[in-house]
Structure 1
C-alpha cells in the first residue's frame, strides 16, 4: 500500500494553523494515483477546516494523532442538507465515494464547545443565526459504497457526528464516540436512506440520539433505510439512545439490535414516527436498558421503550419548513408494524408506551420476556408523556403505568414482569393499562399496581378481543 503522509504535503500539526489544504492535497494525490493510505501522523494536533475524502482511500489517523475542527465558523460553507441551510454544515465530507475507510486508533475532535453559546447548566445555548447554521457535522458521506469505519475515536461533535446518506455496504466497528452530554443535536450515528449496514462493538455517549435511523426529505432519491444489524454496543444519551425516526418519508425496515446496553439515558428505545413513511420488521433482543428523567431541554420522559405514531407538528419552522412534503401545510403519519422485544431488562422512572393516532397505525407489537423495574430516582417532574414533535399538545400530563397501550392493534405481552420500587409518587398506577386496543393478548404477566389497595394490576378499557391467560403468580 502506498503511504501519503500529510506532513509531506505541508501540514504543520501545530494545532494553530489550518492544515486543510495540505490534507486535501494528500487525499487528491492518493486518489488520482489509484488509492492508498493517507496518514495523519502520531504526536501532533492538526487543526483543519473542511475537506473531502475520495474513493479507494484509507484515511489513517494514527494512535496519538488528533485531527481537530477549526473553530472559525466562517470556513464552514457547505450545508449538510442541501438547500436546507439551517441544520448545520459539513466538516469531513465525501460524495459518491467507494472503498473508503477511516481507521488508525487516533482521535477526530469536532471542537464542539467552540461553536456553542452560554453554558445553561443542563445544556449549552445554541447561538442564533440568520440563514446558515455554521455548526459542522463531523463526518458526512453521501452516496457512498463499501465504507468502513473502525478503531477510531470520534469526540466533541458540534452537530451530528457520523451522518451516512444513501450509503450501501457499511461496516462501523470498535469505534468510541464521546460527545458532550450538554451539546444539543450532537447525535452519534445517523443512518439516512442507507442499506446493508453493520454496527458492532461501539461505545457511544451523546447529547442527542446515540444511534438513529431515518429518511430525510432532502435526500429522498436514495430510497429506504434497511438491512441493518447493531450488535454489542454500549450507549449513553441525554435524549434517546436508540431512535427510529422521527424524519421518515420512506421506509425503515429489517433491522436487528442484539446484546446492547443502554445506561443513564433519558429515553432507551424510541420509535418516533411522524411522517408518511413506514417502520416495520425490527427486532430488539438481549438488552439492558436503564433510564432516568432529565431537563425538558431534552426530548423524552425516561421511557425505556417508546413507540408512537402521530402526525408531525406544524407549529415551528424547524419541524414544518423542511419536514413536510413540498407545498403541504399538514402531514400524515404512516404505519409501524411487526416490532419485537425479547429478553429485555429495564429500569426507569417511567414505563413502556405504545400509542398511535388510530389503532391501525401501530400493529403487531410483541413483548416477550420483558421485565421492568420502576422507581422515582431524580427530582425532575414525572407523570408526563413527551410526544414531541406531534401535532397539538406535545407534553401531556398523565399517570405512569408499567405497560401503557393506547390505540394499537395486535399487541402481545408474554412472560413479562413489572416491579415498583420503594419511592412511588401518587401518579404511579397499574402494571398494565390498555385503552382502545384492537386485539390484545396477555400471557403469564406478573406484577401488581403501584398501590394495589387503590388500583387493579391490569386495567383494560375500550379494548376488543382480549385474550388473557392467568399469571402463574402476582408480584408487587
Structure 2
C-alpha cells in the first residue's frame, strides 16, 4: 500500500497534490512489492495481476482542482460530443483497477460556473422566481469529463461518495467487466450535463445499490464515443435515483444498445423517468427487460430534456446536437425492438409515450403498469407536450391522455391501469 503523503501530498483545500498523486501511481505501476502504509487519504496497491486504487477512509476527502488551466489536456482523445478530453482522474488502457473506500471525491464543479445568474429559456408563459431557481447555470469553460475510463477491463468502483461534478461524473468508454457498487453521487441540480454515470460502448456492466442525485441523467447507456461499437450486457439494480433530466436513458442518436436488465429501482422527482432515445436511422436498442420499479416524475423548470414523462420511447430523427458526419450508416430494420416492461408504479406530471416513425418500434410489451397523473405547476412552461430533444418533433399530448402510442409502434398492453386517463393508440 502506498500513502500519497510519502510523495509530498499535504492536507488542506488550498494545496494542489496532483504531482504527489501521480507520483504514487507511477511508483506503484513500477513496483510489484506490496508495502503497507497508514490508511490516510488515497492509497495505491499493485501486484502483477492487479492495480488497485483504494480510495479514502471514512471522513477523508479528495478535492478536485477548480482551475481549468491546471487540468491536463489530452489532445490525442477527441470525444464525439465534448471534444478534447480534460478530466480529473483518467484511466486509459489499464486493466484490473479498483477504486474503493468510504471517503469522498469533491469535484469542485460549481466553481466552474457563474452561480449568480441562471440560463432561463424561452417558454409559453413567464417564469416565476421559483422557476428561475430551477434553471441551469450558463455553460462556460469547464472539464468535460471528471472520472474517465477508456479501454479498460475488470474495473470496480465501490463504496465511495462523489459530489459536485462540473460535467459527466463517471464516464466509462469501451470498457469490459465493470462493477459500480454502492456509490453515492450527489451533484448540483443547476449544473448542466452533470450526469451521474455514463456507460458508452461497454460490455458487461453491473450498477448496483447506488444513490444518485444529478442535474442531468443519473444513468445513461449510449455509444457516444464509438457509434459503431455496441453497449451491451448491462444490469442496473437496487438503485435510488433523482434527476433534473432523465433518471435512466437507454440509447442516444446512433447508439446500439442491447441486452439490458433494469430492476428494483426507485426514481424520485425526476424530470423524466425511463427513456429510450434513438435516431430514426442507424440506431438500435434491443433486448431490454425492466421490472419492479417505482417511477415518480416532476416537471423541472429550465433547459432540461424531458417534460414529466414517467416512461418514454422515441425513435425520431436527431437532427441537431451531434456533429454532422458521425452517422455510422448501420443498416437496421427498426430502431427499438424486443423491450419488456413489467411491474412499474408511475406517478407522473405528464403522460407516458411511445412514438416512432413508420413502425420502427417493434415487439414492445407493457404489463402491470399502474399510472397516476399528478397536477403540475411547471407543465405550462413547455405546454402539454412530449419533449423529443434532440429531435425537433412537435406533438401536443391530448389533455385526457395517460399513455400515447404513435408512429405505427408495435406495442402489446396487458393490465395497464391509467385510471381516468385514456390509452391512445394512433
Deviates more, 1:403-412 or 1:300-309: 403-412
User: Residues 123 and 297 of structure 1 are in contact (CA less than 8 Å); yes or no, is this contact kept in structure 2?
Assistant: yes
Specify the alignment match of 2:327 in structure 1: 325
Specify the alignment match of 1:297 in structure 2: 303
Question: 2-side partners of 1:4 and 1:29: how far apart?
Answer: 9
TM-score (norm 2): 0.87
Secondary structure (helix, strand or coil) at the match of 2:21 reads helix
Q: Which residue of 278, 282, 302 corresponds with 1:273?
A: 278
The 5-angstrom pairing of residues 51-62 of structure 1 reads 56-62=51-57
User: Residues 13 and 45 of structure 1 are in contact (CA less than 8 Å); yes or no, is this contact kept in structure 2?
Assistant: no
Let me know the Cα RMSD of the aligned residues.
2.6
Q: Which residue of 159, 162, 174 corresponds with 1:166?
A: 174
Secondary structure (helix, strand or coil) at the match of 1:342 reads strand
User: Residues 179 and 186 of structure 1 are in contact (CA less than 8 Å); yes or no, is this contact kept in structure 2?
Assistant: yes
Question: 1-side partners of 2:35 and 2:416: how far apart?
Answer: 52
Specify the alignment match of 1:138 in structure 2: 146
Question: 2-side partners of 1:40 and 1:310: how far apart?
Answer: 55
Specify the alignment match of 1:352 in structure 2: 352
Specify the alignment match of 1:426 in structure 2: none
Specify the alignment match of 1:384 in structure 2: 385
- Report whether the alignment pairs 1:78 with 2:55: no
Q: Which residue of 144, 157, 170 corresponds with 2:165?
A: 157
User: Residues 319 and 390 of structure 2 are in contact (CA less than 8 Å); yes or no, is this contact kept in structure 1?
Assistant: yes
Deviation at 1:171, TM superposition (A): 0.8
Instruction: Provide, for residues 349-382 of structure 1, a one-character-per-residue CA deviation record: whole Å limited to 9, x for no partner.
Output: 11110010211x1011111100100121324314
Instruction: Provide, for residues 232-271 of structure 1, a one-character-per-residue CA deviation record: whole Å limited to 9, x for no partner.
Output: 000000000000121434x201010010000000000000
TM-score (norm 1): 0.78
Question: 2-side partners of 1:336 and 1:69: how far apart?
Answer: 39
Question: 2-side partners of 1:108 and 1:91: how far apart?
Answer: 10
Cα separation, partners in 2 of 1:340 and 1:116, compared to 1, 3 Å: same
Structure 1's unaligned 5+ residue stretches are 47-53, 421-429, 436-476
Question: 1-side partners of 2:149 and 2:238: how far apart?
Answer: 24
Secondary structure (helix, strand or coil) at the match of 1:62 reads coil
Aligned length: 399
Specify the alignment match of 2:216 in structure 1: 208
Specify the alignment match of 1:444 in structure 2: none
Question: 1-side partners of 2:33 and 2:314: how far apart?
Answer: 46
- Report whether the alignment pairs 1:257 with 2:265: no
Q: Which residue of 277, 280, 291 corresponds with 1:285?
A: 291
Cα separation, partners in 2 of 1:260 and 1:87, compared to 1, 3 Å: farther
Q: Which residue of 48, 59, 63 corresponds with 1:64?
A: 59
Cα separation, partners in 2 of 1:387 and 1:152, compared to 1, 3 Å: same
Secondary structure (helix, strand or coil) at the match of 1:122 reads coil
Structure 2's unaligned 5+ residue stretches are 44-48, 119-132
Specify the alignment match of 2:411 in structure 1: 411
- Report whether the alignment pairs 1:116 with 2:99: no
User: Residues 289 and 340 of structure 2 are in contact (CA less than 8 Å); yes or no, is this contact kept in structure 1?
Assistant: yes
Deviation at 1:335, TM superposition (A): 1.2
Question: 2-side partners of 1:182 and 1:87: how far apart?
Answer: 24
Question: 2-side partners of 1:57 and 1:224: how far apart?
Answer: 28
Q: Larger C-alpha radius of gyration, 1 or 2? A: 1
Question: 2-side partners of 1:84 and 1:288: how far apart?
Answer: 32
Specify the alignment match of 1:335 in structure 2: 335
Specify the alignment match of 1:11 in structure 2: 9
The 5-angstrom pairing of residues 304-319 of structure 1 reads 304-314=310-320, 319=321
Question: 1-side partners of 2:355 and 2:187: how far apart?
Answer: 31
Q: Which residue of 192, 199, 208 corresponds with 2:207?
A: 199
Deviation at 1:13, TM superposition (A): 1.8
Deviation at 1:87, TM superposition (A): 7.2
Cα separation, partners in 2 of 1:26 and 1:416, compared to 1, 3 Å: same
Specify the alignment match of 2:138 in structure 1: 126
Specify the alignment match of 1:219 in structure 2: 226
Q: Which residue of 176, 186, 193 corresponds with 1:178?
A: 186
Deviation at 1:398, TM superposition (A): 3.2
Instruction: Provide, for residues 151-172 of structure 1, a one-character-per-residue CA deviation record: whole Å limited to 9, x for no partner.
Output: 1001110000110001101111
Specify the alignment match of 1:452 in structure 2: none
Question: 2-side partners of 1:111 and 1:141: how far apart?
Answer: 20
User: Residues 101 and 149 of structure 1 are in contact (CA less than 8 Å); yes or no, is this contact kept in structure 2?
Assistant: yes
Cα separation, partners in 2 of 1:409 and 1:14, compared to 1, 3 Å: closer
Question: 2-side partners of 1:167 and 1:25: how far apart?
Answer: 25
Question: 1-side partners of 2:32 and 2:89: how far apart?
Answer: 21
User: Residues 307 and 379 of structure 2 are in contact (CA less than 8 Å); yes or no, is this contact kept in structure 1?
Assistant: no
Cα separation, partners in 2 of 1:279 and 1:138, compared to 1, 3 Å: same
Cα separation, partners in 2 of 1:433 and 1:220, compared to 1, 3 Å: closer
